[in-house]
Amino acid sequence: QKEVEQNSGPLSVPEGAIASLNCTYSDRVSQSFFWYRQYSGKSPELIMSIYSNGDKEDGRFTAQLNKASQYVSLLIRDSQPSDSATYLCAVNRETARQLTFGSGTQLTVLP
Amino acid sequence: GAGVSQSPRYKVAKRGQDVALRCDPISGHVSLFWYQQALGQGPEFLTYFQNEAQLDKSGLPSDRFFAERPEGSVSTLKIQRTQQEDSAVYLCASSLLPRETQYFGPGTRLLVL
């Protein structure tokens, strides 16, 4: 079992719809959770970070964390074609300073 | 302000050649990370520096990989006797303090022929 798992996709949604991206992690003592967006050929760019159970909203983005279920998700409201990218879930385990990444979910927003 | 920069952006090496990849972190950032990203995969951790100290090199795939950060700022990742399986994008990230947000550089795309 991989430490951080994501559906690889591709996930396609129409413009204006809600895109839902999911991630599960195996290390129960993980502390910090991040969503990075990566455009093709570019480096990862931080979208959201979340540290405690519940929802965190930032503009069109909402991160949701459920530590009991070891599950973190990212919702993108009013999806735009410019949101088309690979979304990487990353976890910072208590015992390490580095991030552990999932393999990413490729999102395509259709105009 | 200036972000993380990396050079070269692209490197083609013949199998067996040595390569050196440079990372300039954001000024003042204590923590520096190297990751390797294969096509279609998420970044995989290679090594971590806190200032000039290499605190974790558990992700380096072999003893052909070596990293340094002698003055606590610029870092170099060196790969000796490159192999085809070393072909990947090498990403550098820095954070102001340990466990804070990591900011990534543009990466060096290495192709070993």
Cβ neighbours, 10 Å, residue A16: 11
Look at residue A3 and tell me whether its pLDDT is greater than 80: yes
Mean pLDDT of B37-59: 95
Percent of chain B with pLDDT over 90: 93
The confidence score (pLDDT) of residue A39 equals 95
Instruction: Over range A11-37, report the average pLDDT.
Output: 93
Instruction: For residue A1, give Cα distances in angstroms to A97, B37, B45, B61, B94.
Output: 21, 19, 18, 20, 28
Task: Tell me the average pLDDT across A3-14.
Answer: 90
Classify A60 as helix, strand or coil. Answer: coil
Spatial CA neighbour of A54 closest among A46, A45, A66: A66
Q: Which residues of B touch A45 (CB under 8 A)?
A: 104
Q: Is the pLDDT assigned to residue B1 strictly greater than 70?
A: no
Contacts of A91 in chain B (CB under 8 A): none
- Tell me which residues of chain B have a C-beta less than 8 Å from any C-beta of chain A: 31, 33, 35, 40-45, 48, 50, 55-56, 59, 91, 98-99, 101-107
**pLDDT of res. B98:** 83
Site of tokens 């996709």:
A9
Q: What is the pLDDT of residue B99?
A: 80
Mean pLDDT of A30-57: 93
- Chain B nearest C-alpha distance from A30 (Å): 12
Residue A65 clears pLDDT 90, i.e. is over it: yes
Output the pLDDT for position A2: 75
> What was the pLDDT predicted at A8?
73
Backbone angles phi, psi at A49, to 5 degrees: -130, 150
Cβ pair A97:B107 closer than 8 A = no
> What contacts B7, CB < 8 A, 6 or more positions away?
B21, B22, B108
Q: Which amino acid is at B36?
A: Q
Q: Which of B104, B108, B111 should be substituted to probe chain A, the one whose Cβ sees the most A Cβ atoms within 10 Å?
A: B104
* Residues B67 and B75 sit within 8 Å (Cβ to Cβ): yes
Residue A10, preceding peptide bond in cis (omega within 30° of 0): yes
Chain A neighbors of B40, CB-CB under 8 A = 103-104
> Which amino acid type is present at position A1?
Q
Closest-CA distance of chain B to residue A15, Å: 25
Please answer yes or no on whether A88 and B42 come within 8 Å at the CB atom: yes
CB-CB contact of A25 with A50 (8 Å): no
Each residue of A68-82: pLDDT tens digit? 999 999 999 999 999
The model's pLDDT over B74-101, given as tens digits with 9 standing for 90+, comes to: 999 999 999 999 999 999 999 998 888 8
Q: How many other CB atoms are there within 10 angstroms of residue B20's CB atom?
A: 14
Smallest CA–CA distance, residue A63 to chain B, in Å, is: 16
Task: Check if the beta carbon of residue B22 is closer than 8 Å to that of residue B75.
Answer: yes
Give the residue-averaged pLDDT of A84-98.
89
> In the numeric block, which tokens belong to residue B70?
């002698």
Nearest Cβ partner of A44 from B43, B48, B99?
A: B43
User: What pLDDT score does A1 carry?
Assistant: 67
Q: How far apart are CA B13 and CA A16, in angstroms?
A: 45
Cβ(B86)–Cβ(B110) under 8 Å? yes
Q: With a cut of 80, say whether residue B41 has pLDDT above it.
A: yes
Render pLDDT for B12-30 as a digit per residue (tens, 0 to 9): 999 999 999 999 999 999 9
B104 or A96: which leads in pLDDT? B104
Percent of chain B with pLDDT over 70: 99
pLDDT at B80: 97
Which residue reads 């300073």 in tokens?
A97
Handedness of CA B61, B5, B101, A46 (dihedral sign): negative
**Looking at residue A28, what is its pLDDT?**
81
